[in-house]
């Protein structure tokens, strides 16, 4: 795309042009600017760009572009093939040639002051650093999960969002889905009695202990084809191997958050919201002698327990959570037509529970819609930086417990392990220059 020949009208350029037209020449309002049945006027659109969009990211992109008040205009990716693929897809959907491509976010972000927000769907290693870099550049953020590699990264995301006044949503979309919202609200509102135990599912592949070696070196492609240095980003230098770029980084300590982070990034947030513990962290992690963390019990300061579960013992389907109270239980996972409950009569309140939730919070039961609404209103999203950081701190605490093979105690106010220097050192990792938190 050649910007000088483009006739697209963005939200910011429309407002600027309208202001100039008021005192100078009349502004030529195009049909694109006025919008239509499935497209908002340019003055009401949120302008998005993307960083690192591939498999899951394509799902997010399609979801984002269904929002009538969103305009997607640029893709930044370290892989040439992906840049072309995303640009072609966007241009095909909009029937124009406006989606510009970039390889390096350090050039992309400052070059596009017209962009309001970015969709980040890189591998795990980049989620926090890309979010921080984007927010420092004045962009709001939607980022895929797991959204930080360490407790220190989570703290930095929270601090950056606050300092720069940015809106942030992490991609734990089930906290906005009706079945999960119902289960969480049943627990949170006391309909299940006093909650004593929650269960949260972890992924049934890989292990908590990850590889510290690396794959054999292969010839490195030209930077324009695959920018390997940018692929690594803040991680330690490792020799190039095409398997990493194709998704083979999972299970490697340098790049992954283990089987616990893979699904716990979702389910711990779901459980902690239902327990009203979304703004805190567990005070105890009890070690279990297996390779995954299956059956680990973590305890919060209020005495409530959360148990990590690898199978379908407490639900059917992926990414499940369950709440057990003195008057019953409720659970949800993918594939349910309605949540599972201890008493079928509880489902008679399904619509009321959801309508009460929407009325109380003002949130849409659609994760991407919640983000767009909050970008406009500047209200906090449902999966805001604190919710992300606290649930991911639980992921990291559980991982550290498994790595050290001992029960750990944690101070959620100081955000440090109690009397355990080795555990505290694992709250952060070395960051390769020139990147910084």
Structure confidence by residue, pLDDT tens digits, 200-239? 999 999 999 999 999 999 999 999 999 999 999 999 999 9
Task: Out of 107, 122, 137, pick the residue that ends a domain.
Answer: 122
Find the mean pLDDT for residues 83-100: 98
Q: What is the CATH number of the domain that holds 336?
A: 3.30.360.10
For residue 137, tell me if it sits in a domain. no
pLDDT band at 350 (very low <50, low <70, confident <90, very high): very high
Checking if the pLDDT of 11 tops 90, the result is no
Three-state DSSP state, 285: strand
Cα Rg of the chain, angstroms? 23
User: Into how many domains does the chain fold?
Assistant: 2
Domain check: are 421 and 307 in the same one? yes
- In which domain, by residue range, is 36 found? 3-122
> Residue 13 pLDDT more than 90?
no
Q: Which two tokens stand for residue 376?
A: 């406009």
Here the CATH number for the domain that contains residue 29 is 3.40.50
Sign of CA dihedral 363, 364, 366, 372: negative
Q: Is residue 98 part of a domain?
A: yes
| N residues, the chain | 437
Among residues 136, 127, 138, 130, the alpha carbon closest in space to that of 159 is found at 136
Same domain? 201 vs 328: yes
Q: Do 279 and 366 fall into the same domain?
A: yes
Same domain? 322 vs 416? yes
301 occurs within a structural domain: yes
CB atoms within 10 A of CB 359: 9
Based on the fold, state whether residues 52 and 180 are members of the same structural domain: no
Question: Higher-confidence residue: 33 or 112?
Answer: 112
Task: Flag whether 402 is in a domain.
Answer: yes
Task: Looking at the structure, tell me whether residues 69 and 200 fall in a common domain.
Answer: no
User: Which residues, 6+ apart, have CB-to-CB distance to 375 below 8 Å?
Assistant: 46, 116, 117, 140, 167
Sheet of strand 140-143, all strands in order from the earlier edge strand to the far edge = 100-102, 70-76, 46-51, 117-120, 140-143, 168-170
Residue 354 reports pLDDT greater than 90: yes
DSSP state of 426: T
- Give me the percent of the chain exceeding a pLDDT of 70: 91
Q: How confident is the model at residue 36 (pLDDT cuts 50, 70, 90)?
A: low
Confidence of residue 44 (pLDDT cuts 50, 70, 90): confident
Q: Which residues contact 27 (CB under 8 A, 6 or more apart)?
A: 17, 18, 20, 21
Q: Is the pLDDT of residue 340 over 80?
A: yes
Contacts of residue 197, Cβ cutoff 8 Å, sequence gap at least 6: 304, 305, 306, 307, 323, 324
Distance spanning both ends of the chain, measured CA to CA: 33
The pLDDT of residue 34 is above 70: no
- Give yes or no: residues 79 and 188 share one domain: no
Q: Mean pLDDT, to the nearest integer, of 267-280?
A: 98
Cα 376 from Cα 389, distance rounded (Å): 23
User: Please, are residues 183 and 330 in contact by the beta-carbon 8 Å criterion?
Assistant: yes
How high is the pLDDT of residue 42?
73
- Measured CA to CA, the distance from residue 360 to residue 390 in angstroms comes to 23
Q: Kindly state the average pLDDT of the residues 388-415.
A: 98
Provide the whole-model pTM: 0.91
Among 37-46, 62-71, 163-172, 352-361, the minimum mean pLDDT is found in 37-46
* Assigned token pair, 105: 């976010």
The answer to whether 116 touches 93, Cβ cutoff 8 Å, is no
Kindly indicate the confidence band of residue 41, based on its pLDDT and cuts at 50, 70 and 90.
confident
Task: In whole angstroms, give the CA distance from residue 273 to residue 27.
Answer: 48
Residue 327 pLDDT > 90, yes or no?
Answer: yes
Q: Let me know if residue 388 belongs to a domain.
A: yes
Cα angle for residues 344, 346, 351 (degrees, 5° grid): 120
Mean pLDDT estimate for the chain: 93
- Strand 305-309 relative to strand 297-299: parallel, antiparallel, unpaired? antiparallel
- What pLDDT sits at residue 21? 41
pLDDT computed for residue 91 by the predictor: 98
* Average pLDDT of the segment spanning 171-183: 98
Residue 83 in any domain: the answer is yes
Residue 351 lies in a domain: yes
Instruction: Return the exposure string of 44-55: e unless at least 16 CB atoms fall within 10 Å of the residue's CB, then b.
Output: ebbbbbbbbbbe
Q: In terms of domains, do 81 and 179 share one?
A: no
Q: What is the mean pLDDT of residues 27-53?
A: 72
Q: Which two tokens stand for residue 21?
A: 């037209």
Mean pLDDT of 95-102: 97
Q: Are residues 414 and 297 part of one domain?
A: yes
pLDDT at 61: 98
Which of 92, 122, 152 is the C-terminal boundary of a domain? 122
Q: Is there a domain that residue 233 lies in?
A: no
- Are 267 and 415 within one domain? yes
Report the alpha-carbon distance of residue 1 to residue 304 in Å, rounded. Answer: 55
Q: What residues are paired with 102 via a beta bridge?
A: 76
Enter the tokens of residue 122: 């890189």
Q: Are residues 192 and 306 in the same domain?
A: yes
pLDDT at 188: 98
Residues 98 and 200 in one domain: no
Which of 122, 139, 158 is the last residue in one of the domains? 122
pLDDT at 40: 73
Dist CA 394 CA 90 (whole Å): 37
């Amino acid at each position: 795309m050649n910007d000088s020949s483009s006739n697209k009208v963005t939200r910011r350029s429309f407002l600027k042009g309208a202001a100039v037209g008021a005192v100078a020449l009349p502004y030529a309002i195009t049909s694109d600017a006025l919008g239509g049945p499935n497209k908002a006027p340019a003055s009401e659109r949120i302008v998005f760009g993307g960083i690192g969009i591939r498999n899951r990211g394509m799902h997010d992109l399609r979801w984002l572009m269904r929002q009538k008040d969103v305009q997607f205009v640029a893709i930044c990716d370290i892989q040439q093939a992906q840049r072309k693929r995303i640009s072609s897809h966007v241009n095909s959907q909009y029937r124009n040639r406006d989606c510009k491509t970039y390889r390096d976010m350090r050039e992309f972000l400052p070059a596009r002051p017209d962009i309001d927000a970015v969709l980040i769907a890189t591998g795990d290693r980049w989620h926090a650093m890309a979010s921080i870099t984007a927010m420092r550049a004045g962009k709001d953020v939607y980022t895929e999960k797991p959204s930080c590699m360490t407790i220190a990264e989570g703290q930095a995301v929270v601090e950056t969002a606050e300092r720069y006044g940015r809106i942030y949503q992490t991609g734990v979309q089930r906290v906005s889905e009706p079945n999960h919202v119902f289960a969480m609200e049943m627990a949170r509102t006391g309909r299940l009695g006093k909650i004593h135990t929650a269960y949260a599912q972890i992924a049934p592949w890989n292990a908590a202990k990850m590889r510290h070696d690396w794959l054999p070196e292969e010839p490195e492609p030209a930077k324009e084809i695959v920018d390997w240095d940018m692929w690594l980003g803040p991680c330690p230098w490792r020799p190039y191997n095409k398997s990493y770029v194709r998704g083979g980084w999972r299970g490697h300590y340098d790049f992954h958050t283990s089987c616990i982070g893979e699904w716990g990034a979702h389910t711990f947030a779901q459980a902690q919201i239902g327990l009203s513990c979304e703004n805190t962290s567990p005070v105890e992690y009890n070690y279990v002698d297996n390779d995954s963390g299956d059956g680990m019990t973590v305890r919060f300061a209020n005495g409530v327990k959360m148990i990590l579960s690898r199978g379908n013992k407490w639900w059917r389907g992926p990414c499940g959570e369950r709440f057990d109270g003195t008057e019953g239980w409720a659970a949800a996972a993918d594939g349910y037509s309605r949540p599972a409950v201890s008493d079928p009569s509880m489902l008679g309140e399904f619509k009321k529970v959801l309508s009460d939730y929407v009325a109380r919070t003002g949130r849409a039961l659609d994760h991407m819609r919640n983000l767009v609404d909050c970008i406009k209103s500047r209200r906090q999203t449902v999966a805001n930086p604190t919710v992300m950081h606290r649930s991911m701190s639980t992921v990291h605490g559980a991982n550290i417990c498994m790595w050290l093979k001992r029960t750990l105690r944690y101070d959620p106010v100081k955000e440090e392990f109690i009397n355990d220097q080795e555990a505290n050192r694992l709250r952060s990792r070395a960051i390769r220059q020139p990147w910084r938190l």
